[in-house]
Each structure stands twice: as C-alpha cells, then as structure tokens.
C-alpha cells in the first residue's frame, strides 16, 4: 500500500514537455495555453494538439508527448469560447457587474497525461501536488472538457472530489447519464437517439439494405452497434460487416491492412462510420485508394482539415454524406473570426505562431510574438477551407451553449444569494463551484439564436439533423452542401427530406448507387430467404397460380378472390367474366340448330306414319307404340334446349328429371316393342295364354309401370338433394361458369343406371328374336339401336367426370342427341325408306307373294 502511494506521488510530479517539436520553446514554457482575467473564470481543456501518424506511441517517454502538432481546425473551439465570453460580458442583462474570464489548457494527447494537466490547473503550479493549491483565491467556477467520453469520465472522477462542475462537450452518451456515478458532470450536446432513426431513414430512402459499419472499439461504439443493429433488424437492413477500431489515447486510431481489404472485399457500396472519420482517409495510401473511392461513406461527424495533402484526402472523401445537428447561425461569429489577429489578442501565443506559419511573418521563439514582414490584411479567412472552416462547427456550438449555461446559472445563483443574504456584502463576490450545481441542473434558457440550452438529459429534445454532402469541385476546394434534413418530431412520412439532385456521389459512381445483397424482387415474385442466409440475401420465386404481388420485395403473394384471376405477369387481379353455354355462342347455336333439326325430322316421320297409317309397314310395328315413341323422341331432342342459356333453379331441376322421364318413356316403348315381337313369334296354337296377352295389349302396360318407377326415383331425388345452380370459378381461367349441379351424385347415377337396365333388357329381348322369319321383323333394328344407346351412355360417364366447365354441359347434350338419334335412325328411318321409296313392297299382294316364295323354298328343302 505504501509503495502504491509513493508510485502515484512520483507519477504526478514528473515534469512534462508538451510541445517539443511542433511548438516553439516559448509555448512549452507557458503554464496555460490561454488566459483572460475576469471576476469569475471558466476553465477549458480542449484537444488542440495532434500527433503524426507514423509516430510509434509505444516509444514515447511516459512523461513526454514528443512530435505533437497543432490541430488548426480545433482552434475554432478557442475562438468560440473567446467570442461567447466577449458577447456575455458586453450584455448588461446577464451577470451585471460581473465579468467572465477564461483559462484554456490543451488537452494532452494520451489519457495517461490527462490528470497531470488537471493538477496543474488545480494547484496553479507547473507541478502537481494533490490537495494543494498555490492560488490565494480561485476564481474558477466550472470547466469545459471534450471530446471523448473517456476523457470526460477520467476528469470527472477527479473533479468530483472537489464538487467542481464539469460540462462535457462529448457527443451524447448514455454512459455518462448516471448521476450516482457522475454527479458533477453535465452534457451539453443534444440527445443522439434520433441519429439512429435518421441513419435508418436515409438507408430506407435510397433502399440501401446491405451496408458496412465502422466504429470505435469502446463503450460508445459498442452501444451504437447494439442500437443500430436493433433498428436495422426492424427495417430489414443488414450489416455485411462491423469493424471496431482500436482507440489509443484521445484521437489516435490503429488501422491494419486487413481493414482496407475488408472494405474492398465487401459487396456493400455504403459504409457507415460512427465518430471521428478523418483517420480512415489520413492513413489511406495509394494502394487503398480504390477501396475508398468505390464506397459511399455515411458519417456522424464532418471531415475537416488535412494533415497530409499528398494523399489528396478531399478527392478521397468527395461525396461523403454527414449527419450534423441543425443549429442556427450565430450572428457575429464569422466577423469575430475575421477580426481575430495577433494584434487584437496579443496574449494568444498560438495566433502569433499561426500567423508566422501561414502569412510569412517573422517570429520570435523566445516570447512567441510575430515581429514584422506579415502579409497585409492577413486573417483566418484567407486560410484554405480544408485547413480552417469559418462556419461554426458542432463542437464550437456546444462550447457556445456551455458558456451560456454557466453564465445564466451564475446569474441565477447571484440573484438567489442576494435574496437569501441581502446584508452579507463581504461574501457577494466569493463563489464556490459546488454552489453552482443546483442551478446547472435546472437551467433552461434560450441562446441568441433561439435554441434551447438544457443540461438535464431527461429534458433534452431530439435535434433536427442536416444531411451534409462534401463536394470537391474544383479539385482541392471543399464545399459542404446541405442536401437534406431529418426532423424526428415530424410525422412518420415527413421526417426525411432529401434533395437528391444536389448530391454529388463519389467519383466512381455515375448515378445513385445501389447497395443490396440481392436485387429487389419485382412485382409478380416473392422473396424466399435460403436457409443459413440473412434476410437481405434472398431468392425471387414467381407467385403461384391465382396469386399476385403488386409491390417489390413482397414476403408473401396475395391470393386473388374467387371472382378474380391473375394477369400473365401476376401483378394484379382481374375480374372474371361470367359465362355459360349461351344461344349466342357458336357451340350453343350449333347444338340448338341440331336439336331443333332432329325435332323437326321426328315430326316429319310422325307425319309420314300418320299419313301411311293403314299400310302394312306401319300396322306391323304397332302403330300406337310407334306414335308414343316418336312423340317421346321429339321431346328428347328438345331437352338439350334446357341446358342452353342462363341456368336457374327451375331449368336445373327440369334438365335432369324431365330428361330421364322422357328417356324412360322412350326406352319402355322400345322394351314393349321387343316383348311384343318375341311374344308374336311364340304363338303356335289358338287359345294359348301368350296369344291372349298379345291380343289384350298387356305389353303396353310396361310404359306406365316403368314410368312410375322413374317418377318414384325422381321424387326421392328432389326431396333429398335436388339439382341447383352452381358457380364454377376454377375450370376456365378468367371465367366464372354458371351451370347446374346435379345435387345427389347417387341419384344422378342411380336413375341413369335404371335407364341402362331398361336399354339392356330391350337389347336382349330384341336380340333373341332377331332371326325369326317375318318380312317386317324389326327385332334387329331394336337390338342395334339399344346397343348404340348403351355405348353412348357408357362412354358418357368417364368423359363427363373428366370434363369441367361448359364441356360438361356440351358432353351431356351430345349424349342426349346421339342416343336419341340412334333410336330414331335405326328404328324408323328404314321404315320410312320403304314407305316413301319402295312403296311396291308396302302392299298386301307383295307380302303374300314373298311369303309364298319363302314357303316353296322351304318345301324344296
């Protein structure tokens, strides 16, 4: 324990030489960087120094920082502090009778030396003695620190021992929000939560779903990775790689060659960089130039200045998109910078050194003063923009707000002190830093541009962000163009606004770059993510039948309603056309003509039979049965008309039931004819019972009996599951077919089987009497007609069940016409031929001669 305390004491007392190479010796001898006296003093530790890239930090002495250079861009922080203090001192409404002063120290480059300068400031000596102050009366009330959270954390742990208020200029970081750990630390920067939403919105705006991420390997970087990954997952954006860069000291980074090879290997065209970005371009040699030029860099901090002009950093960084918190323009700041000269601020040694470096002034290294031979009318405005920017940076704006917060808190504290102790004049000009805490916690004021200055992170609001695009036209001259804005407090669809036509992309791109793992799935396709791949890498699969996708990158295809169908591209649902077998269709018209034609032909045959009713041909074939059969066939030929036209419930019932009824009558007539023929040739003697049955016309009773049986089947059918109108939306693409459903399948096939039994029975009866001798024996015609009838309906069944849509109706109509035509043509056409064209055979004399000739022939045999 004793050894540890001795070591710490030795460490804190070691001498230091801050600016040995880059700084003149006069700057090394100064106890502070810049001092301006006032009633109260605000201290500041700002990162003014940087280190050459090629220097090996491991070889530096522990108590020295060799090779340090001046960061000209960060000098704007000093000017911003001078400006705001002068502005407040000239304002009689803030801190009347009280002036602000400043005391600025350069922030040591390495964290190991940070606390050493803090002790210098606390003790007022060029050596560090803990718990000792050389100052008789300290005027310091607060201190500003930046630019990393590690620095602010380390300083706070020391200053908190003295309850000294510390205002951190570091970008907003939740790690410093814990008041129990950091009770004396206040953050000036606005909240950074909306920055994540802004980056995500920009990715979605350009449809960049395959991006890389580079960040610092520290708590802030790890936190950013975690939060950004969550937001990306919500919006289907993927990180192709994440590279965390090791941090050494305040702003020094270590980049390996593998980093640039990783950049070159990735297919992503967009890379997001969180934090300071200059290091990537500073350390880029010619071998890595193409890796930088082939990417769009989206950053969270501006790229300013260049240490190595030979690498032409501006050409490498052309086209960068940067998110910068939006703030108003501070009036008078640019004018103040223009007028900041060594003559106006002789105590600022750095201005003298800057003038000697850039405006050819003679310089005295002993007292850090310029002598003569300066460029006339020299000012910081003449410096190149890549070296020094006249526009107030985000960090300078935080300095401006920090000083305003301290000034207003002091003002409130002084007023409160007068109200509590109006008579205690002796202590009115004595201020203790710890007394400022209650007022800093609750401070809420408007600065000169109307922006809110709040130090309590719970009361902070998300700022708007400007999207800045770096132009390098002409080459070597930089221009930051505002090409968009992100407003987190706007409605969801209006947060991001981008002026795309103003964006200058990196020189490798001739149009807006695309950064995706897989090309978008066009309408008509859906995304399928192969197993083992991330959501951004997918395949495009066509939508299935009757499914569409009308947007890009759809996860699922949408099914069209039953009343719609898909177009050829499967991008939209089209309404189906309602159709049915109409009389206007060519097929419907043709079947109607055939049906009416056969009906008319049947009517003509009826007329022939009626006209020649007394001839032997008509008499010999049972005229009454022939008339019934012909009339029934007429109705059979007219039944197809019920199948044509728009179906309704009535026509659906009549289609099947009326058809089966008339076919039953027709087949029962044929059956009766067949039985009569068989019975006629079985009569060999008078008085036999068969003769009596034939004379009494008993076979004709078959017709009503068979018909009643069919009526019974039909009644059961209608009572259980009658036919109904059906809508078929699947058989034909683009059409909704209206047709009749038979209802009960069992009844449909049962009644059809009943007709088949009748037809087969008629066939066998006629087949048995086909060779019986008689000149007018029609058994052969009856048998053949029934054979054709059975073949038609047996063929009908498989074809009917394998067809869909209107084809079902057409097949049934064709079967009706074919079976009816077979009966008509095979039974009655031969008779009509004899009646009309061979009338000599249709006489009693001809019949008698033929029978006599047959008898003689038999006698000879």
Instruction: Quote the CA–CA distance of 452 and 445 in Å, as a whole number.
Output: 6
Give the pLDDT confidence score for residue 452 in this predicted structure: 84
CA distance 145 to 138: 19
One DSSP character per residue, 318-354 reads: TT-EEEEE-----TTHHHHHHH--TTT-TT-HHHHHH
User: What's the Cα-to-Cα distance from 696 to each of 614, 677, 679, rounded to whole Å?
Assistant: 21, 15, 12
C-alpha to C-alpha distance for 495 and 807, rounded to whole angstroms: 59
Phi-psi region of 430 (alpha: psi -120 to 50; beta: other; left: phi over 0): beta
Going from N- to C-terminal start, the domains of the chain cover: 525-575, 586-860
Residue 737 three-state SS: strand
* Tens digit of each residue's pLDDT (9 = 90 or more) over 694-729: 454 556 688 888 889 988 988 889 888 888 888 888
Q: Tell how many helices (H) and how many strands (E) occur in the chain.
A: 26, 30
* Whole-number pLDDT of residue 851: 47
The pLDDT score that the predictor gives to residue 817 is: 93
Picking from 115, 121, 118, 167, the residue whose alpha carbon sits closest to that of residue 145 is 167
- Say what the pLDDT of residue 153 is: 77
∠ at Cα 322 (320, 325), nearest 5°? 165
What is the model's pLDDT at position 8?
39
Give the chain's residues under pLDDT 70.
Answer: 1-33, 49-71, 108-113, 124-138, 147-149, 172-179, 247-257, 276-291, 302-316, 371, 386, 421-430, 473-477, 620-621, 679-700, 769-777, 840-861
- Work out the widest C-alpha separation in the chain, in whole angstroms: 172
Find the helix packing angle between 806-823 and 649-680, rounded to 10°. 20
CA gap 85, 739 in Å, rounded:
92
Cβ-proximal residues to 383 (8 Å cutoff; 6+ apart), any chain: 72, 358
| pLDDT value, residue 843 | 63
Query: How distant is the alpha carbon of residue 558 from its chain centre?
Result: 15
d(CA 210, CA 231): 14
Q: Is the pTM of this model over 0.85?
A: no
Q: What integer pLDDT is reported at residue 428 of this predicted model?
A: 52
- pLDDT in the model for residue 58: 40
Decide which of 1.10.340.70, 1.10.3210.10, 1.20.120.1200, 1.20.1070.10 is the CATH code for 586-860: 1.20.1070.10
| pLDDT at res. 311 | 41
Give, to the nearest 10 degrees, the angle between helix 349-358 and helix 75-89. 130
Q: Would strands 69-70 and 185-187 be described as parallel, antiparallel, or unpaired?
A: unpaired
Residue 403: phi and psi, rounded to 5, are -65, -40
CA distance 445 to 408: 8
Q: Could you give the CA distance from residue 293 to residue 804 in angstroms, rounded to a whole number? A: 64
pLDDT for the residue 655: 86
pLDDT, position 359: 81
Count CB-CB contacts under 10 A for residue 575.
Answer: 12
Structure tokens, 50: 């940087």
Half-sphere exposure of 439 (CA within 13 A, CB side): 22
What is d(CA 765, CA 772) in angstroms, rounded to the nearest whole number? 12
- Per-residue pLDDT at 596: 94
* Count of residues making up the chain: 861
CB-CB contact of 622 with 695 (8 Å):
no
pLDDT (tens digit, 9 = 90+) per residue, 493-549? Answer: 788 999 999 998 888 888 899 899 888 889 999 989 888 888 888 999 999 988 999
State the DSSP code for 421: -
- Position 476 scores a pLDDT of 57
Q: 517: closest CA among 763, 237, 314, 174? A: 237
Angle separating helix axes 806-823 and 623-638, nearest 10 degrees = 160
């Amino acid at each position: 324990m004793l050894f540890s305390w001795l070591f710490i004491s030795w460490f804190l007392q070691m001498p230091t030489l801050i600016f040995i190479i880059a700084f003149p010796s006069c700057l090394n001898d100064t106890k502070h960087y810049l001092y301006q006296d006032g009633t109260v003093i605000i201290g500041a530790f700002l990162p003014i120094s940087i280190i050459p890239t090629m220097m090996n930090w491991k070889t530096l002495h522990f108590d020295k920082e060799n090779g340090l250079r001046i960061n000209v861009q960060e000098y704007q922080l000093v000017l911003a502090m001078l400006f705001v203090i002068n502005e407040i001192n000239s304002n009689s409404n803030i801190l009347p009778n009280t002036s602000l002063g400043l005391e600025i120290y350069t922030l040591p480059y390495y964290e190991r030396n940070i606390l050493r300068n803090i002790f210098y400031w606390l003790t007022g000596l060029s050596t560090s003695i803990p718990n000792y102050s050389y100052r008789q009366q300290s005027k310091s009330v607060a201190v500003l620190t930046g630019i990393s959270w590690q620095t602010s954390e380390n300083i706070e742990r020391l200053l908190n021992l003295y309850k000294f208020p510390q205002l951190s200029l570091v970008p907003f970081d939740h790690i410093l929000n814990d008041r129990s750990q950091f009770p004396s630390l206040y953050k000036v920067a606005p909240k950074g939560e909306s920055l994540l939403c802004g980056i995500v919105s920009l990715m979605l705006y350009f449809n960049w779903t395959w991006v890389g991420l580079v960040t610092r390997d520290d708590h802030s970087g790890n936190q950013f990775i975690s939060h950004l990954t969550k937001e990306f997952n919500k919006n289907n954006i993927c990180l192709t790689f994440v590279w965390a860069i090791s941090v050494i000291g305040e702003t020094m980074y270590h980049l390996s060659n593998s980093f640039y090879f990783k950049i070159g290997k990735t297919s992503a065209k967009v890379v997001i960089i969180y934090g300071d970005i200059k290091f990537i371009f500073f350390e880029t040699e010619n071998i890595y130039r193409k890796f930088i030029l082939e990417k769009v860099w989206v950053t969270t901090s501006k790229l300013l200045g260049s240490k190595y002009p030979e690498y032409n950093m501006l050409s490498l960084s052309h086209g960068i998109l940067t998110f910068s918190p939006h703030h108003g323009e501070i009036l008078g700041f640019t004018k103040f910078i223009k007028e900041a000269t060594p003559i106006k601020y002789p105590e600022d040694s750095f201005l003298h050194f800057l003038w000697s470096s850039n405006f050819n002034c003679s310089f005295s290294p002993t007292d850090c003063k310029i002598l003569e031979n300066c460029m006339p009318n020299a000012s910081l405005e003449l410096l190149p923009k890549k070296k020094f920017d006249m526009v107030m940076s985000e960090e300078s704006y935080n300095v401006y707000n920090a000083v305003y917060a301290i000034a207003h808190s002091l003002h409130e504290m002084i007023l409160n002190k007068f109200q509590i102790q109006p008579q205690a004049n002796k202590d009115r000009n004595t201020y203790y830093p710890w007394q400022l805490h209650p007022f800093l916690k609750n401070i809420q004021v408007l600065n000169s541009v109307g922006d809110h200055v709040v130090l309590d992170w719970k009361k902070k609001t998300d700022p708007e962000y400007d999207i800045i695009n770096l132009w390098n036209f002409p080459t070597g001259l930089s221009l930051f163009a505002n090409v968009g804005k992100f407003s987190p407090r706007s409605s969801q669809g209006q947060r991001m606004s981008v002026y795309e036509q103003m964006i200058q992309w990196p020189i490798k791109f001739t149009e807006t770059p695309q950064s995706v793992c897989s090309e978008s799935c066009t309408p008509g396709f859906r995304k399928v993510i192969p197993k083992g791949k991330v959501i951004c890498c997918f395949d495009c699969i066509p939508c299935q039948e009757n499914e569409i996708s009308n947007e890009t990158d759809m996860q699922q295809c949408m099914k069209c309603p039953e009343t719609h169908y898909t177009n050829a591209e499967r991008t939209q649902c089209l309404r189906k056309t309602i159709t049915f077998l109409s009389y206007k269709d060519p097929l419907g018209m043709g079947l109607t003509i055939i049906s009416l034609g056969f009906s008319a032909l049947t009517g003509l045959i009826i007329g022939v039979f009626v006209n020649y009713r007394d001839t032997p041909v008509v008499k010999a074939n049972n005229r009454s049965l022939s008339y019934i059969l012909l009339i029934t066939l007429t109705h059979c030929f007219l039944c197809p008309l019920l199948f044509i036209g728009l179906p309704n419930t009535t026509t659906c019932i009549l289609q099947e039931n009326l058809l089966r009824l008339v076919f039953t009558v027709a087949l029962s007539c044929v059956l009766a004819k067949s039985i009569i023929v068989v019975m006629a040739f079985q009569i060999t003697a008078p008085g036999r019972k068969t003769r009596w049955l034939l004379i009494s016309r008993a076979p004709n009773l078959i017709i009503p009996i068979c018909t009643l049986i069919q009526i019974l089947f039909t009644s059961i059918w209608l009572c259980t599951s009658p036919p109904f109108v059906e809508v078929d939306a699947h058989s034909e693409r683009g059409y909704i077919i209206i047709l009749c459903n038979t209802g009960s399948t069992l009844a449909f096939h049962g009644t059809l089987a009943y007709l088949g039994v009748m037809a087969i029975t008629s066939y066998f009866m006629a087949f048995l009497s086909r060779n019986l001798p008689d000149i007018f024996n029609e058994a052969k015609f009856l048998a053949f007609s029934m054979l054709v009838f059975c073949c038609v309906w047996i063929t009908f069944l498989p074809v009917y069940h394998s067809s869909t849509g209107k084809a079902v109706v057409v097949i049934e109509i064709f079967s009706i016409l074919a079976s009816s035509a077979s009966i008509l043509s095979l039974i009655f056409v031969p008779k009509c031929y004899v009646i009309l064209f061979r009338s000599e055979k249709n006489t009693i004399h001809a019949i008698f001669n033929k029978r006599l000739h047959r008898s003689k022939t038999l006698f000879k045999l």
